[in-house]
């Protein structure tokens, strides 16, 4: 892999991702929640920030934009559909657009649902997907501004990527997501095994992100709404995956 990726924990449970392309020296930060920890990590590595990539407009994803831009003069890239809500945005991109970070190229995938405009950045060569609050390890984002059919369509686009893609989501929600996932899909042996591994990882204080997309496809109930077994287990019509997805998302919203 020619893209170096560094995890920066921020706020209570956010992950900010720092990307370094060694050949050209480009350095991008994905969703800088808070400028302080980003600045500290850049300083420790002797890197100069060239880009900010924003997946969506929420404060815990754009909070560091203006301070980092003032300090580094970096270029801010975000979803076209929400360009008015991304502080300091320079380049607005949409479905299929590409962004070159030195020798590494990111393709933008529009994934609305959590917010009206939400971008995912897929670095195909590096096998890395930065998906903000759309797809989480064993979960998906809440639908604050979108509908269930829209969110399901967005997740299907991400599910179409190769199994060995690593999913770099923006929050450490995995252990609580696993509790709901086991409740939603109790017969899934892969999920049960993964859930035990996650408990052990968290007990050791380890991060559970990134995760391989192939594992998400087998264990994340929000990527499995079109699995007839899962629909039937909930007494739902297996021919209407968007409705199954809507049911799962509503159930998760009130799950304790």
State the catalytic residues. Answer: 56, 58, 60-61, 114, 133, 171
In the list 133, 172, 185, 216, the residue contacting Zn ion (rule: CB under 5 A) is: 133
CB burial of residue 185 (10 Å; 0-12, 13-18, 19+): buried
Nearer to Fe ion, 64 or 241 (CB): 64
Distance CA 243, CA 231 (A): 9
Backbone angles phi, psi at 116, to 5 degrees: -60, -45
The number of beta carbons lying within 10 Å of the beta carbon of residue 15 is 20
Q: Which residues between 54 and 93 bind Fe ion (CB under 5 A)?
A: 60
Nearer to Zn ion, 136 or 152 (CB): 136
Distance CA 25, CA 211 (A): 26
Nearer to Fe ion, 35 or 241 (CB): 35
Distance CA 15, CA 197 (A): 20
Residue 133 lies near Fe ion (rule: CB under 5 A): yes
List, in sequence order, every residue forming a beta bridge with 93; answer none if it has no partner.
79
Stretch that binds Fe ion, among 65-73, 86-94, 127-135, 153-161 (CB under 5 A): 127-135
Q: Which residues between 29 and 58 bind Zn ion (CB under 5 A)?
A: 58
**Interface with Fe ion by CB under 5 A: which residues?**
60, 133
**Interface with Zn ion by CB under 5 A: which residues?**
58, 133
């Amino acid at each position: 892999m020619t893209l170096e990726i560094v995890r920066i924990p921020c706020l209570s449970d956010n992950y900010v991702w720092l990307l370094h392309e060694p050949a050209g020296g480009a350095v991008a930060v994905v969703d800088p929640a808070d400028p302080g920890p980003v600045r500290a990590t850049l300083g420790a590595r002797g890197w100069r920030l060239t880009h900010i990539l924003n997946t969506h407009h929420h404060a815990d994803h754009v909070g560091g934009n203006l301070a980092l831009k003032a300090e580094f003069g970096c270029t801010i890239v975000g979803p076209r559909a929400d360009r008015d809500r991304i502080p300091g945005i320079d380049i607005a991109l949409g479905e299929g657009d590409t962004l070159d970070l030195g020798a590494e190229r990111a393709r933008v995938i529009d994934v609305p649902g959590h917010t009206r405009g939400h971008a995912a950045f897929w670095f195909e060569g590096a096998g890395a997907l930065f998906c903000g609050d759309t797809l989480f390890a064993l979960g998906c984002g809440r639908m604050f501004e979108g509908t269930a059919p829209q969110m399901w369509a967005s997740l299907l686009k991400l599910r179409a990527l190769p199994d060995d893609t690593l999913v770099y989501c923006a929050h450490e929600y995995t252990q609580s997501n696993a509790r709901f996932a086991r409740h939603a899909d109790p017969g899934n042996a892969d999920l049960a095994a993964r859930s035990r591994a996650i408990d052990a990882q968290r007990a050791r204080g380890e991060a559970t992100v990134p995760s391989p997309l192939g594992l998400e496809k087998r264990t994340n109930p929000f990527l499995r709404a079109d699995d007839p077994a899962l629909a039937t287990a909930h007494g739902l019509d297996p021919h209407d995956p968007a409705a199954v997805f809507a049911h799962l998302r509503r159930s998760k919203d009130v799950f304790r």
